Amino acid sequence: MGCCSCFGFTRRRKPLVRPAPGFNNCLSQEPLLDGDTEYEDDCSYNEDVTSTGNCDESEEQSMGHCDESEAQSRAKRSEEILRSRLENGLICRQFPVKETHKLVRSEDDNGNKMINEYVRECKIGSGSYGKVVLYRSSVDGKHYAIKAFHKSHLLKQRVAPFETAMTDVFREVLIMKMLDHPNIVNLIEVINDPETDRFYMVLEYVEGKWVCEGSGPPGGLGENTVRKYLQDIVSGLKYLHAHNIIHGDIKPDNLLVTGNGTVKIGDFSVSQVFEDDNDELRRSPGTPVFTAPECCLGVTYRGRAADTWAVGITLYCMILGQIPFLGETLQDTYDKIVNNPLVLPDDMNPQLKNLLGGLLCKDPAERLTLDAVAEHSWVIGDIGPIPQYLCWCKRKRLQEETDESKDDDSGITNT
């Protein structure tokens, strides 16, 4: 059974692990791993893809509501943090994302559908709330992956007691406007015409594969390939965490490999932002089988540690081609994540076994940090340590400090 397959499950409750009121862990007929559905309309809304586990009103009432003011303040605080960063120029990219407020739908000479300058070629996948389509720019000739949404559908779908899918997409856009890293998919343009129901995110097109594509028992991808992939994942995720962003849905389907073998992290639809080192979260992360044990227990959890657990599950998938904790139902899966020991092959590389054991430690306080992962002997291997990346905001800060130092020196000389 490959790690990127889709798993359905029947509704069944077990008493061992029960999400707390207000958590986004409702038992429903959503698949344990994301699925895919074909669409006829160019901007059809994907109601079958999962990540958020939506709860209907009656189910929320039976589970109990989280405190209204607390939930609303969390959502508002996240939005305020993002808006404040943008307004104060606290973004980590040299060139801003293009904002387009006019949508023109047309056809080219060959009858291909167009949105503005982009010519539609084919559907290439699904995000958490909409499909992803390959387009070619008629201006620069390059290919772009465009995520297409219906705003009306996003506003109707609740993903938390006081948040809609539109909240998630809006937050995803704000987050991606701040980011620029070689191991993160780049947002190029946002098309949001207030006169239409259409909404588009124009992303760089990664012409490659998912990190687990081609893996499967018994060989997986091989340690050398996985080591390079893991270095890229850790580099990108460390960058996010350094900028106070929790991805929330690290898994093979959200890790794309370019033609030259570089991994890029994508899909920030359930990502969260925080201030300082306070990465305490309540809403559960994206995909059940990649969920950390502490996220299954109905308590607040630390976002960085939860992301790191998901890296461990992803590493396990890449090496062994399967999921380590998988039940027949969502509740079974949560039970196994919390209670079952990690089982690794006896003949596995001892260094790799040590790394997986550290990443998949049930206790988040004892779990390896990303800094420790980056320094682990297996990760360094024969290819050396993860290259240090000096991001744009750090380069800008260093330049400002250098300029200030020059001004001070000049002042001293003049006196």
Six token digits for residue 76: 């508002």
Residues 133 and 198: their CA atoms lie apart, in Å, by 14
pLDDT 10s digits, 17-27: 433 333 333 32
DSSP category for residue 388? P
Find all residues with CB under 8 Å of 173, minimum gap 6, and list them: 187, 190, 201
pLDDT of residue 75: 54
Residues 195 and 181: their CA atoms lie apart, in Å, by 33
* Selected residue with higher pLDDT from 111 and 69: 111
Query: Looking at 3-12, 99-108, 239-248, which range is the least confident one?
Result: 3-12
Residues 191 and 360: their CA atoms lie apart, in Å, by 40
Asked if residues 344 and 283 have their Cβ atoms less than 8 Å apart, the reply is no
Residue 63 has pLDDT above 50, yes or no: no
The one catalytic residue among 249, 253, 307, 332: 249
Task: Tell me if 147 is assigned to a ligand binding site.
Answer: yes
Six token digits for residue 10: 């029947």
Kindly compute the dihedral angle of the four CA atoms of residues 320, 212, 374, 281, in this order, to the nearest 10 degrees. Answer: -100
Q: How many other C-beta atoms lie within 10 A of the C-beta of residue 223?
A: 17
pLDDT of residue 335: 96
Q: How many other C-beta atoms lie within 10 A of the C-beta of residue 211?
A: 29
pLDDT of residue 410: 67
Asked if residues 286 and 310 have their Cβ atoms less than 8 Å apart, the reply is no
**Residue at token pair 């409702």:** 26
Residue 258 burial class via C-beta count within 10 angstroms: exposed 0-12, middle 13-18, buried 19 and up: middle
Rg (CA), the chain: 22
Report the phi/psi class of residue 54: left, alpha or beta, with left for phi > 0 and alpha for psi in -120 to 50: beta
At 12, is the pLDDT very low, low, confident or very high (cuts 50, 70, 90)? very low
Six token digits for residue 165: 């899918």
Beta-bridge partner residues of 191: 100, 200
pLDDT of residue 29: 28
pLDDT of residue 128: 63
Asked if residues 52 and 168 have their Cβ atoms less than 8 Å apart, the reply is yes
pLDDT 10s digits, 375-413: 999 999 999 999 999 999 888 888 888 887 776 666 655
Residue 37 has pLDDT above 70, yes or no: no
Q: How many other C-beta atoms lie within 10 A of the C-beta of residue 156?
A: 12
* Selected residue with higher pLDDT from 308 and 69: 308
Domains of the chain: 57-380 (1.10.510.10)
pTM: 0.80
pLDDT 10s digits, 106-135: 999 999 999 999 999 999 887 667 789 999
Helix 223-242 and helix 303-320: axis angle, to 10°? 170
DSSP category for residue 248? -
pLDDT 10s digits, 214-240: 555 555 788 999 999 999 999 999 999
Smallest Cα–Cα separation from 203: which of 98, 79, 46, 91?
A: 98
Active site annotation includes 249: yes
Query: Looking at 61-70, 289-298, 392-401, which range is the least confident one?
Result: 61-70
pLDDT of residue 298: 81
* Selected residue with higher pLDDT from 252 and 65: 252
* Selected residue with higher pLDDT from 54 and 367: 367
Asked if residues 154 and 135 have their Cβ atoms less than 8 Å apart, the reply is no
pLDDT 10s digits, 25-36: 332 324 565 533
pLDDT of residue 348: 95
At 46, is the pLDDT very low, low, confident or very high (cuts 50, 70, 90)? very low
Which alpha helices (H) appear in 148-267, and where do they start and end? 151-156, 165-176, 223-242
pLDDT 10s digits, 303-328: 999 999 999 999 999 999 999 999 99
pLDDT of residue 412: 56
Average pLDDT over residues 233-251: 96
pLDDT 10s digits, 153-183: 999 998 777 788 898 899 999 999 999 999 9
At 192, is the pLDDT very low, low, confident or very high (cuts 50, 70, 90)? very high
At 277, is the pLDDT very low, low, confident or very high (cuts 50, 70, 90)? confident
Find all residues with CB under 8 Å of 403, minimum gap 6, and list them: none
Asked if residues 276 and 251 have their Cβ atoms less than 8 Å apart, the reply is no
How many residues are present in the chain?
Answer: 415
Smallest Cα–Cα separation from 239: which of 185, 286, 291, 174?
A: 185
Asked if residues 143 and 207 have their Cβ atoms less than 8 Å apart, the reply is yes
Asked if residues 325 and 293 have their Cβ atoms less than 8 Å apart, the reply is no
Average pLDDT over residues 292-296: 94
Average pLDDT over residues 287-307: 93
Asked if residues 106 and 100 have their Cβ atoms less than 8 Å apart, the reply is no
